[in-house]
Structure 1
Amino acid sequence: MYDLFLQNFNEKAPLSAADTEIIKAYLTPKKLRKKQYLLQEGDVCKYIAFVTKGALRSYTVEENGT
């Protein structure tokens, strides 16, 4: 389940097998449905997200509505 994430991570900063196991202990997969929010305005972000399939869109609405 974490292979793609760890592969990308290892390209930037190679890890030992022991380090990989430590990191895996902190990973939790999360699936979002279409039109489901990962984070909404005013929410405090406490996590890092890594998209393995699909796409996420980020947008904001200005005070004047645009």
Structure 2
Amino acid sequence: MLMSSPNRPAMLSYGPNGFRMLQPGDHVVCTVTGEKIPLEVLRYWSVERQEPYASAAIATQRLLGQA
């Protein structure tokens, strides 16, 4: 179970198979769109860039340099 703090952004460390919480929170912010992503639905991120993304399409655009 993830520990969270309501209405606060979490600080995460992104790995190839998951993420580790560095500072408690209930969401992260998409690097491209600025959209809040609740931790329970976070599925897309870049390990190399340490960035979260709101969708697979947004992650693909970013990784291809189109966003």
Q: TM-score, normalised by structure 1?
A: 0.23
Q: Normalized per residue, which structure has more strand?
A: 2
Q: TM-score, normalised by structure 2?
A: 0.22
Q: Normalized per residue, which structure has more helix?
A: 1
Q: Which has the higher contact order (CA 8 A, sep 6+)?
A: 1
Larger Rg: 1
